[in-house]
Chain A
Amino acid sequence: MGDARRALALVRKDLLTERRSKAAFNAMAFFAAMVLFIFSFALGPDAPGMAAGSGQTLLQYLWPGLLWVAIFFTGILALSRSFQVEMESGGMEALRLYPGDKKAIYAGKLAANLIILGAMELILIPVSAILYNIDLIDKLPALLGVVALGSLGFAAVGTFYAALTANLRARDVMLPVLLFPVLVPVIVAAVKATTLVVRGDLMGELWTWIRILGLIDLVLLTVCTLTFEFAIEE
């Protein structure tokens, strides 16, 4: 009970801090916009998608993959910011000195990161759909479900590694180096499921992939929950 309150207090504190400083969000919004433009320049806005065939542009064809690349790269900013706030106030030791289970800290940080990530995605998805001319309206519920599951996997591992690297001098280098290999299953399943949502699910595979994604989330979440208290030691 006390631990649930602690986790909630941490979420509220993080969101309040973020709402006032907007340090992570501004950087993320700017970065996400740049990524969308860079994709467009790199792949050519009108280049036809050869594999797609049916009058799609390359950008439209690749959108599921591009979306997740943008989410992961942008999300890194939120993760490192999340623990930067703690370092500025005196490090993780403040949180560790409070009584109670340290899993509450993980839960709180994870939830706050997920919410910030979600806010960014709610902008990223429609903006990229508009920029690349993709019709998503009727696919929205399934898409949001897949995005939520993929983001959960990302945030679960990301929060863990951000805590682990928070007091390293080279944290900006080490976070992606350690995080991305572990995220491979998440990105594979998330991109696959998103593709099925967007391009249509001819063979009825979508549900299988959603379950695979959920299973991956569950395993990663369990491992990270069990080991988090050691990650914030020093």
Chain B
Amino acid sequence: MTADKFGKICGIAALVLLAVGLATGMLVAPRERIMGDVYRIMFVHFPSWVGTAAGYLTAFVASIAYIKTRDFKWDYWGQAGAEVGLLFNVTGLITGALWGRPTWGVYWTWDPRLTTTAIMAITFAGYLVLRAFMEDPESRARAASLVAIVGFVNVPIVYFSVRWWRTLHQVQSSPETVDPQMVWPLRAMMLAFLLLGVFMMTRRVMLARLRGEEEMEMVRLEVARD
């Protein structure tokens, strides 16, 4: 199965699951006792982190593969993973802030998870800024891969250091455990976001490959000419 076909299947499945998940999450799932309807943002918020993880993990693995093989295919995957991961990461941060305001009373708190996700966003935003600054494809791919590798390894270190750091202060408890009736829409949405992430990454890789190949083809023609 080609990546193109695989991506299409993921995209269609994501679409179906999104429709099912949103419909059941918004209409079927009961109101939450304390938070009321506000909690329904979790059907977007939690799944965002699934997409974030999928994206960054892809970027990390692809970056190692690029350094090992120097095959541009992996650079395309690295870039796609970072962009898609960052997109979901920012979605997660925004929905989290919107949810935090009515429930915790603040948009932002220095909870380990929040801090870690924010640092992750800054790290991979830096990755994309670096790419924008570099013109030479080989150097760009190499430098960006290293940034993704070190940045990704750093994520758990940030999480644990912030967690230990905050233990003396009040620990922000996670929202109440999820009611069984809300579980299925949430699971559907998580899977939907995962598939959506995969779909977007395959499209992004195809685009990057087209651009890269076009560039290469021009070169090949130029080399072959005269």
* Nearest-CB residue, chain A, relative to B129: A177
A181 close to B161 (CB less than 8 A):
no
Distance to closest chain A CB from B60 (angstroms): 12
Q: Which A194-216 residues sit within 8 Å CB-CB of chain B?
A: 212, 216
Instruction: Given the known inter-chain contacts A216-B157, A227-B149, please indicate yes or no for A178 contacting B165, CB distance below 8 A.
Output: no
Query: B142 contacts the other chain (Cβ, under 8 Å)?
Result: yes
Chain B interface category by residue count: 20 to 34
B58 within 8 A of A: no
A-B pair number, CB within 8 angstroms: 75
Taking a contact as CB atoms under 8 Å apart, the answer to whether B146 and A181 are in contact is no
A160–B150 CB distance below 8 A: yes
CA A169 – CA B143 in complex, angstroms?
Answer: 14
If A177-B126, A230-B67, A230-B146 touch, whether A168 touches B134 (CB-CB below 8 Å) is yes
B-chain residues with CB within 8 Å of residue A181 when the two chains form the complex: 119, 122-123, 126, 151, 154
Known: A184-B119, A227-B146. A216 touches B161 (CB 8 A): yes
Q: Taking the complex as formed, is B139 at the interface, i.e. its CB lies under 8 A from any CB of chain A?
A: yes
Which residues of B (148-168) have their CB < 8 Å from a CB of A? 149-151, 153-154, 157-158, 160-162, 164-165
In the complex, per-residue mask of B40-78: 1 if CB is within 8 Å of any chain A CB, else 0? 000000000000000000000000000100000000000
Q: How far is the CA of A6 from the CA of B115 in the complex (A)?
A: 41
List B contacts of A227 (CB < 8 A). Answer: 67, 146, 149-150
Cβ of B13 under 8 Å from chain A: no
Give the docked Cα–Cα distance between A220 and B156 (Å).
12
* Chain B proximity of A153: nearest CB distance (Å): 10
Whether A184 lies near B161 (C-beta < 8 A) is: yes
Within the assembled complex, what's the spacing in Å between the Cα atoms of A155 and B170?
A: 32
CB of A112, distance to nearest CB on chain B (Å): 21
Give CA–CA (A192, B165) in the complex, Å: 7
The binding surface of chain B is classed by DSSP as helix
CB distance from B132 to the nearest CB of A (A): 9
Let me know if B142 and A233 touch, CB within 8 A: yes
Residues of B125-153 at the interface with A, using a CB-CB cut-off of 8 Å, are: 126, 129-130, 133-134, 139, 142-143, 145-147, 149-151, 153
Query: Across the interface, which residues of B come within 8 angstroms of A224, CB to CB?
Result: 150
Q: How far is the CB of B136 from chain A (nearest CB, A)?
A: 8
Chain B residues with CB below 8 A from A180, complex form: 122
For residue B134, which residue of chain A has the nearest CB? A168
Q: Does A174 contact B (CB under 8 A)?
A: yes
CA gap between A165 and B67 in the complex, in Å: 17
Residues of A within 8 A of B160 (CB): 185
Q: For A170, list chain B residues within 8 Å (CB).
A: 133
Indicate whether A127 reaches chain B with its CB closer than 8 angstroms.
no
Taking a contact as CB atoms under 8 Å apart, the answer to whether A182 and B143 are in contact is no
Q: Is the CB of A185 within 8 A of B134?
A: no
A50 to B184, CA, bound (A): 49
- CB-defined contacts of A144 to chain B, threshold 8 Å: none
Q: A182-B123, A185-B157, A230-B67 are in contact. Are A174 and B133 (CB under 8 A)?
A: yes
Residues of the A chain whose Cβ atoms lie less than 8 Å from the Cβ of B154: 181-182, 184-185, 220
Residues of B within 8 A of A157 (CB): 150
The answer to whether A164 has its CB under 8 Å from any CB of chain B is: yes
Residues of B whose CB lies within 8 Å of any CB of A are 67, 115, 119, 122-123, 126, 129-130, 133-134, 139, 142-143, 145-147, 149-151, 153-154, 157-158, 160-162, 164-165
Since A192-B165, A231-B143, A233-B139 are in contact, a sample of 20 more A-B pairs with Cβ atoms closer than 8 Å, ordered by chain A residue number, is A164-B147, A169-B133, A170-B133, A177-B126, A177-B130, A178-B130, A181-B123, A181-B126, A181-B151, A182-B154, A184-B154, A184-B162, A188-B161, A188-B162, A189-B165, A216-B157, A223-B153, A224-B150, A230-B67, A231-B146
Q: Can you give 18 contacting A-B residue pairs, CB < 8 Å?
A: A164-B146, A177-B130, A180-B122, A181-B119, A181-B123, A182-B151, A184-B115, A184-B119, A184-B158, A185-B158, A188-B165, A189-B161, A189-B165, A227-B67, A230-B146, A231-B143, A231-B146, A233-B139
3 smallest A-B Cβ distances: which pairs? A185-B161, A181-B123, A185-B157
